[in-house]
Chain A
Amino acid sequence: MDKQVQETQSPQAFDMWGLTPLQILLFALADDEFILGYRNSEWTGIAPILEEDVAFSSMSQDEIGHARLYYELLQELTGTMADKLAYSRKPNEYLCCRLVEHRKLDWAHAIARQFLYDTADHVRLEALTHSKYEPLANATQKIIREEKYHLMHGDMWLTRLAKLSTDSRARLEGALVVLWPDALGIFEPLPGEEQLIADGVLPGTMSDMCTDWLGQITPYFYNLELPFPATLDERTGLYIPTVEPVYGGRRGQHTGEFTELWKEMTSVYRLDPEAVW
């Protein structure tokens, strides 16, 4: 895995402060789902097993569908149509985390990413169902119910890859080691987070959610004896990550892989952004 991420733009190139903290939060949520939906749909048609091809594609469609819900909330706030929000921004205006950017690699990588993302997203969604910003609370209350299937899927596959053969276990462990720093980046503090917390839009800090997440998934990694880069702080009873998270996504800093995807996913749209497609 390419550790040297290539920056698309300097952090200053995108003026975050043109966006309100609420808009930043919604873009982060929308873009995570949007880009992961794109990456997962790269398996549609060529997944390992026909039955799984269909299942993984449904999850990809769920993610795009959830992104659309968040973009529609932004449409309400900004007056810009959801499609335009999704396709007309420059690469450094997307606020997705690094984890979702990686192109399709092997199946163990896809499963490891999906598991880490879905379990983390679940913690985030659970918090947001209590948001004082009602449209977001309403949307996440529905979305969290759709994630049930994702969690079942992740559980089934993670367990099988970890247990069924030494080869699959080695592949899974390898993928996890590579992905951990990016996964911790899901909870990169958002610009303007203090404001969101003061307003009750965000019921807890990203850092607290990260701690909750690590606590929730410990049993999995403990039972399956998989690499888990966190230590228990005996004093507080909380898990503290032992690897450095990869941050930057929430500030529009992305990898070269993301730029490649951006070029592809906007290629038809950019032929004529004013046209109806």
Chain B
Amino acid sequence: MPVFEIFQQPREGKAFEHGGNLVAPDVEMAILYAREFYARRQESHSIWIVPREAIVEISDQDLLHPPAVDRSYRSVAGYSVRDTLRATRGAVAGSNQPD
């Protein structure tokens, strides 16, 4: 029997998250049972039902976390301005800048 993966939107405006899956012979029955298994406590604002075979996965870490290059240049943590900022402030304070 086909497996359907279920994605739940917890509240209005929020992104969908994977909730789990269920088996059902067809989409119509999956809709009925998804409501039972993923919404009967009213925990979902909306539900997506996706046939498992429609999902394409990438999990190769060479693609997702390529190991060679230091990519900190594209993160805030890759820049340490503290020392240069202090030096610049010091130079400004030392000159005769008007307030």
Contacts and interface: CB of A to CB of B under 8 A. Distances in A.
Interface of A: 61-62, 65-66, 68-69, 139, 142-143, 145-146, 148-149
Interface stretch (B19-27, B66-74, B88-96): B66-74
B62 A66 contact: no
Contacts of A62: 66, 69
A70 B24 CA distance: 55
A29 B26 CA distance: 56
Contacts of B60: 148
Interchain residue pairs A-B with the least CB separation, the first 4:
A65-B69, A142-B68, A146-B66, A145-B62
B54 interface: no
B85 interface: no
Interface residues of B, number: 9
B82 to A, nearest CB: 16
Interface of B: 60, 62-63, 66-71
Given A143-B68, A148-B62, 17 more contacts: A61-B69, A62-B69, A65-B68, A65-B69, A65-B70, A65-B71, A66-B68, A68-B69, A69-B69, A139-B68, A142-B67, A146-B62, A146-B66, A146-B68, A149-B62, A149-B63, A149-B66
A148 B60 CA distance: 10
A145 B66 contact: yes
Contacts of B62: 145-146, 148-149
Contacts, number: 32
B66 A69 contact: no
A191 to B, nearest CB: 27
Query: In terms of DSSP, what is the predominant structure of the interface of chain A?
Result: helix
B63 A69 contact: no
With most chain A CB atoms within 10 A of its CB, the pick from B62, B67, B69 is: B69
A168 B56 CA distance: 29
Contacts of A61: 69
Contacts of A143: 68
A66 B63 CA distance: 16
A218 to B, nearest CB: 25
A66 B66 CA distance: 12
Contacts of B66: 62, 145-146, 149
Nearest to B68: A142
Nearest to A140: B68
A85 to B, nearest CB: 17
Nearest to A138: B68
B70 A146 contact: no
21 contacts: A61-B69, A62-B66, A62-B69, A65-B70, A66-B68, A66-B69, A68-B69, A69-B68, A69-B69, A139-B68, A142-B68, A143-B68, A145-B67, A145-B68, A146-B62, A146-B67, A146-B68, A148-B60, A148-B62, A148-B63, A149-B63
A139 B68 CA distance: 7
Contacts of B69: 61-62, 65-66, 68-69, 146
